[in-house]
Amino acid sequence: MKIVFFGTPSFAVPTLEKLLNHPEFDVLAVVTQPDKRRGRGNQLIPSPVKAVATSANVPVWQPPRVKKDIETLTKLKNSDADVFVVVAYGQILSQEILDMPKLGCVNVHGSILPKYRGAAPIQWCLYNGETQTGITTMLMDAGMDTGAMLLKATTPIELLNNAHDLAEKLAVMGADLLVETLCKLELQEIQPIAQDNSQATYAPLIKKEDYQLDWSKSAIQLHNQTRGFYPDCTTIFRNQPLKITATAPLDDADGYELPAELQDLNHQLPNLSTASGSPGEVVSIIKGMGAIVQTGEGLLLLREIQSAGKRPQSGWDFVNGSRLAVTEVFGNAES
């Protein structure tokens, strides 16, 4: 099967690698976003997908706008590909491109469609406290993740999973599901199923204000926000911005149980239940773990924190380094 692969970030890499190493597939070319300038040296950095393609000696095409780039459109048309595979490419494909390959364009999407259509499905499913997610392969159409579904795979979400953890897991699942999808599609063993638009939800691009922690929210809401938008959620401490990168709610977390690494807290929870303060106030400090903060509802353990210009550190190291004291208050980022 002749394939042109469209993808950009690390999430797309396992799928590309699977295709490159599979004897039944021939990756003719890779289409990815243009290199971006990053870091202190402002150097042009290739996308993770480009790095893999280059090392495999696969031609790489990087049009700024693929549907307007005559040279790339001509190459795509002349590729005579059986299928275009699209994994987190980052640009909308025109109907002209969708119509080119014989079997169509197959997308690997990081949610159980029709839920969480859009650019950030993994982040928003965590933010909303979902206990299960997965991968859907679909035949692309001109809409935003609205195409007919091909195959699905699901996985549970654990209490301490963050967006990075979940993306790594789903990327591997997506690679396996894509191979199965392509093989069955070629043999006409899949019947595409139309999505029920009435059940659709959306996962838009994350905005700067989505990162701001509001301590009047409940502990589980703050935890889901922190892990969903990892590692960028922000608060204010001693009049300086501070990132909270890992937390754990200590009360009933919507049916979750505290994981094994936090079971030592169980015998302390009865005493903590009497602690109270204003939202954002440190009500207790647990040796070896970190600060316990009062929220609008319930208590939140700050497991990992990143000060401006520094690397992330454990909650306990932050307590020691900052000499954090009970009654100190974390503020809302906008205050």
Q: Which residues are annotated as a binding site?
A: 111-114
Indicate the annotated binding residues for (6S)-5,6,7,8-tetrahydrofolate.
Answer: 111-114
How far apart (Å, rounded) are the C-alpha atoms in residues 232 and 244?
Answer: 7
Q: 249: cis peptide before it, omega within 30°?
A: no
Q: How far apart are CA 289 and CA 278, in angstroms?
A: 21
Q: Are 88 and 167 a contacting pair, CB within 8 Å? A: no
Contacts for 27 with CB less than 8 Å, ≥ 6 apart:
3, 4, 5, 16, 19, 20, 53, 56, 58
- Nearest partner of 110 among 98, 130, 125, 97, judged by Cα: 125
What distance in Å separates the CA atoms of residue 179 and residue 177, rounded to the nearest whole number? 5
Q: Kindly report the CA angle at 44 between 40 and 47, in degrees rounded to 5?
A: 115
What lies within 8 Å, CB to CB, of 195 at 6+ separation is 113, 114, 138, 146, 147, 148, 149
- Cα gap 3→122, rounded to integer Å: 26
Q: Amino acid identity, residue 271?
A: N
Q: Which two tokens stand for residue 110?
A: 């990081």
* Coil vs helix vs strand at 54: helix
